[in-house]
Chain A
Amino acid sequence: MTIRNGISRRGLLAGAACMTAAGLILPRASWAQPGPKRGGSFRIGQFGGATSDTIDPATFAAGPVVTAMLAVCNNLVEIDAQGQAVPELAESYEPDAEARIWTFRIRDANFGDGRKVTARDVVASFNHHRGDDTVSGAKGALAQVRDIRADGDNVVVFELESGNADFAYLTSDYHFIIMPAKEDGTLDWQSGLGTGGYTLVDHEPGVRITLKRRDDYWKPDRAWFDDVTLLSIGDPTARQNALMTGEVDAINGPDLSTIHLLQRRPGITLVEATGTAHYTMPMFCDAAPFDDVNVRLALKHAINREELLEKILRGYGRVANDSPIAPANRYYAADLPQNGYDPDKARHYLKQAGHDGLTLELSASNAAFTGAVDAAQLFQQSAKAAGINVNVRREPEDGYWSNVWLKKPFCMGYWNGRPTEDDMFSLVYARGAEWNESHWDNQRFNELLLAARAELDEGLRAEMYHEMQGLVSQDGGTIIPVFVNYVDAHNDKVAHGEVASDRFFDGWKLVERWYAA
């Protein structure tokens, strides 16, 4: 104990030397290499901040708060640039033979106030999202967990209802940051303390968050900037101007319609990553006319995906094949036949379903995603050629997710996607899933889902997920026209290595991963 405290006080160099000696898991950049260097400040302009923001991980919204808290805290596991799960605050982890009991060994690390992180804190951090009284958006993801217990100070054991080979990935979800526990075992999120490379100095909701580097961070090759400021800038033009005038060093979500102008500015670099985010158009498979798979196929062939990619996304995306599994996922099936725009084929499927023409109502709102109404209108035009009349019903943006999505039989939607096939499929495509937005129920798919979840043999899993993607694509009730790229921009004062593709801003971890150029 005394030795560790001595190290933390002696500052980074001593700490780094010691950590390196202790053997490190992340072999990326090292001190000898040119590139990352300590120092400097970093100002980030991000959208999605609101005056209602809180640092409670249960009700996080995907704005500057999450980016900041992922720098203040660690997860048990993080996703690296290759999309692989690597241990973070967990030193190591292992499943039992059925992938049902998962044992995580917690590393030696301190919270911002010097306290040592223990298994108790980890248990509290997860229990915060479980139980009847939780308000957590991540509650569903932990429904599979039967019990979480601490085994001594450094070991946490998760007991699942059934085997899940991907459970480690799940713990990288931004909700599951590790914060200290209170005396009574509940989570002390109000403290704002974590084991990450930065401490929270100031948080004015919807305005700015200020972070300061910790000298005793356990990762030697992360957290380069001395101080970091995250500003909430909701207006895309204001965000771009702030970048151009040097008020901030990096922004996310530049306006795609003027991005060519931004790109022309000297010193500005775009960072683009094809992740798992995608637009969806769910159809209720248990309601006419969508209960006939031929109608679903007709609609899948009546949408012009290339046009959406070009006009809505300005090319910053990728055509999708009605399956939510993206090239960034491990078991992406690249060789499935592509559903393309083909009015004749669409007519053919309509005939099969016994329709001469078809009139549908499509609910749309830009709350689903920016440009959703335009996308619906483009679909209206392309579907007309196939004899399908789509009436675009413009819904209010306010309350869209509670009043329209999951309620109307055919609407526009959006998913950030998930790092694992199992997570994505069980969340939205499994029978009875809370968010099964298309009410799809395919027996073979549901069987495969359970089998693949507990399968530890990579080859067999790949085969199963391949078949499932085929099923979703051909039989599923959701049109998935395109994957959306994460686009960020930064100036020449900051630099970075290969960026992760699981979120924008280098997997939301730019605060600790990027460095001064």
Chain B
Amino acid sequence: MSGGAARSRPLRRMIGLRLGIGLLTLFLISVLVFLAVALLPGDIAQQILGQSATPETVAAFRRELGLDQPLPQRYLGWILGILQGDFGNSLANGRPVADLLAARLGNTLFLAGYAAAIAVPLSVLLGLLAALWRGSWFDRGVNVVSLSAISFPEFFIAYILMFWLSIRLGWFPSMADPGAAPSLAEMLGRAFLPAVTLVLVVTAHMMRMTRAAVVNVLGAPYVAMARLKGASRWRIVTRHALPNALAPIINVIALNIAWLITGVVIVEVVFVYPGLGQLMVDSVTNRDMPVVQACALIFAAVYILLNITADVLAIATNPRLLHPR
């Protein structure tokens, strides 16, 4: 046990280093997003006024929002605000960005958590069983089903689920919008169909990775040793193989959770679920810079944090990775 203390210090140093690099990445992303939105044709004044934009109203709009100022100055103003915890106001409707984000972020995290709570245990279990009964009908069946699910576009799965479970059978509502003040049970019921859609999309990836990693380890000499000493097959897989296969599994789980948070805009649209993705798409369309920036920062932070978590967990479960040769 004396190795524990010595081991945790380099781990802590690594986390600190990673967080620092993460912050730098966030800064670079904010610059890139700012430039990218500025490069898009048209600005918020033209987008909001649309067909009814005239040169005078567009000019008045820009004056009102301070868009007539040079780009670097606008960026500087924005980043100084962020550093003081002020996300600014939406250019489009004047509401504080923090307010706009708060409810949406909660919804997005809820849906991602809901889907992950089903998908992660399910896919790891299926992956283990598939590895255990490698080559059997079960293995093939699980592979075919999950690969089919991932091959369909998600809106297709969403529509099929909606058609059968909502319109035909009437078990679940076709719209996931939980209303202004929902109870937890109501939220779970309303978000069920989108959650299942997401589960079907992400399961194959994690399941296949679990299966491949475990199968890989099952060929190792120490597994043969365990089998020779008479351990049961389930025990071999869960106690001997799985811990050694955890690193790649954790990585793929982290990536999928990141996707569940950042990449589900289509599912949000189909099920009318008010999440962050829709907010970001609307804001890009309107060139609503502060909202786009805030969403981009959140998404980037999610990716960076989940990646750091995955690396740390992978190293914690396999200390050899701490000492690269």
Contact = CB atoms under 8 A, between A and B. Distances in A.
B93 A205 contact: yes
Given A51-B279, A51-B283, A206 B57 contact: no
Given A61-B48, A208-B180, A137 B57 contact: yes
A139 interface: yes
B90 A52 contact: yes
B293 to A, nearest CB: 15
Nearest to B166: A245
A233 B175 contact: yes
B269 interface: yes
B103 interface: yes
Interface in B8-46: 40-42, 45-46
A133 B60 CA distance: 5
Interface stretch (B122-130, B136-144, B239-247, B270-278): B270-278
A207 B92 CA distance: 15
A212 to B, nearest CB: 12
A206 B270 contact: no
B80 interface: no
A476 B279 CA distance: 42
A268 interface: no
Contact of A139 (B54, B63, B64, B271): B54
A245 B167 contact: yes
Contacts of A98: none
Q: Is the interface of B mostly helix, strand, loop or mixed?
A: helix
A241 interface: yes
Contacts of B209: none
B50 interface: yes
A231 B269 contact: no
Given A52-B288, A204-B103, A398-B40, A233 B60 contact: no
Q: Is the interface of A mostly helix, strand, loop or mixed?
A: loop
Interface stretch (A79-87, A110-118, A216-224, A399-407): A399-407
B221 interface: no
Interface string A198-219: 0000101111101000000000
Contacts of A235: 269-270, 272
Given A235-B270, A241-B167, A139 B53 contact: no
Contact of B42 (A53, A237, A403): A403
A329 interface: no
Interface in A233-247: 233-235, 237-238, 241-242, 244-245, 247
Interface in B164-207: 166-167, 170, 173-175, 177, 179-180
Nearest to A138: B52
Contact of B100 (A51, A54, A405): A51
B154 to A, nearest CB: 13
A435 B54 CA distance: 9
A403 B41 contact: yes
Contacts of A207: 177, 274
Chain A interface residue bracket vs B? 35 or more
Nearest to B54: A434
A293 interface: no
A186 interface: no
Contacts of B54: 139-140, 434
A295 B174 CA distance: 52
A61 B50 contact: yes
A68 B45 CA distance: 24
A136 B90 CA distance: 18
Contacts of A56: 93
A481 B175 CA distance: 37
B224 interface: no
A54 B93 contact: yes
A335 B57 CA distance: 40
A140 B94 CA distance: 24
A52 B282 contact: yes
A51 B174 contact: no
A73 B22 CA distance: 50
Given A132-B60, A208-B180, A52 B46 contact: no
Nearest to B64: A135
Interface in A416-475: 434-435
B51 interface: yes
B94 A135 contact: no
Given A238-B270, A403-B42, A210 B94 contact: no
Contacts of A52: 48, 90, 92-93, 282-283, 286, 288
Contacts of B177: 207-208, 231
A205 B291 CA distance: 13
Interface in B292-318: none
> Closest 7 interchain pairs by CB?
A52-B92, A137-B52, A399-B42, A54-B93, A402-B46, A241-B174, A399-B41
11 contacts: A50-B285, A51-B279, A52-B93, A135-B60, A137-B53, A139-B56, A205-B93, A233-B175, A233-B272, A247-B175, A399-B41
